[in-house]
Amino acid sequence: MTKFVQILIAAIIQGIPLLYGATGEIITEKSGNLNLGIPGIMYVGGISGVIGGYIYEFKSVHPSNEVIHTILILLIPLICSLLGSLTMALIYSFLTITLRANQNVTGLALTTFGVGLGNFFGGSLLSMFGETGSIALTTTGKVYRTTLPFAHSLGPVGELFFSYGFLAYLAIIIAVAAGFILNRTRIGLNLKAVGESPATADAAGINVTRYKYVATCLGGMIAGLGGLYWVMDYTDGAWTNNGFGDRGWLAIAIVIFAIWRPYLAIPSAFLFGGLYILSVFIPGLTPAMKEVINMLPYVVTIIVLVTVSARKKRENLPPASLGLSYFREER
């Protein structure tokens, strides 16, 4: 029983960064923008938070008031992370929406750029300040990992539901809010119209450019928080180059697996998170079997993608204009 709970907790912890990435990408894709730069944005979200946190934790004078200190140690990395991923999303938006560049090429370039930025500053931040060693923001990490005080006194149930840092709950809140806005509000309806047929939306008086910009930037900022969660909470404030791995692409896989629905993205992210670490919990696995398990998320995603396209149910298909840039005079 406790082992089962342990697996569930591990799956949720692994799933949170994926959920951020997937929610961000769903919002972006609903506007018709296929942002393949999400993996890069997640790296930048992580490293921007690290840079902000490092400068505050080691290079600044701290206020004497303990409460203000805690608030700052929490807010500075958070704001830095949001600004970093916003900048990345703006580069993508400007190139693809205003300059109408090809989305696939721009996205891939953004990922190259973002992963490069993350690894560059991750590997050089300390030597820039004339220090050696590796980045470890233990104090910041500790604040991000703070759980509710009663989390560990309620047995397995408390562990399962209350033992995470605040970013984990924020991920779920954002996903639920995104689902609500997409399904229940006028803004969501307009956004979906932009993604399905920008020309029709334009004719109906919807500002296509504004919707695309806002959706892509918001999506990027949400995805960036996934990087922040990973470095501050999961790895306790320690940055390792390429440590985030290919989780960004897994997040894009979840978007497909959840057939572009934020509500479904929540269990999907936990499922994929579970598959990501399942091999650790099964005793006696051969190394080859472990790799087979690691392959499962991608295979399952392909199966979902094919099934959805074969069944051709309108509401399950990707947004119709996904990947295409919109130019009003080209009809």
Q: What is the binding site for other proteins (CB under 8 A)? A: 34, 36, 91, 94-95, 98-102, 104-106, 108-124, 127-128, 241, 246, 249, 252-253, 256, 286-288, 290-292, 294-295, 298-299, 301-302, 305-306, 309-310, 312, 318, 322-323, 327, 329-330
Nearer to other proteins, 103 or 164 (CB): 103
CB of 308 to other proteins, least distance (A): 8
Nearer to other proteins, 190 or 301 (CB): 301
Nearer to other proteins, 153 or 286 (CB): 286
CB of 291 to other proteins, least distance (A): 4
Closest by Cα among 181, 172, 179 to 229: 172
Nearer to other proteins, 66 or 330 (CB): 330
C-alpha 217/C-alpha 238 separation (Å) is: 27
Q: Amino acid identity of 227? A: G
C-alpha 277/C-alpha 10 separation (Å) is: 8
C-alpha 60/C-alpha 53 separation (Å) is: 10
CB of 9 to other proteins, least distance (A): 25
Nearer to other proteins, 119 or 190 (CB): 119
Helices 208-229 and 38-59 meet at what angle, rounded to 10? 60
CB of 232 to other proteins, least distance (A): 21
Cα-based distances in Å from 78 to 20, 84, 92, 227, 233: 14, 10, 21, 11, 12
- H helices of the chain, in order, are 2-30, 38-59, 66-93, 103-128, 138-144, 155-162, 166-184, 186-196, 198-203, 208-229, 247-257, 262-281, 287-311
Nearer to other proteins, 191 or 255 (CB): 255
CB of 47 to other proteins, least distance (A): 11
CB of 22 to other proteins, least distance (A): 13
Any idea how long the chain is? 331
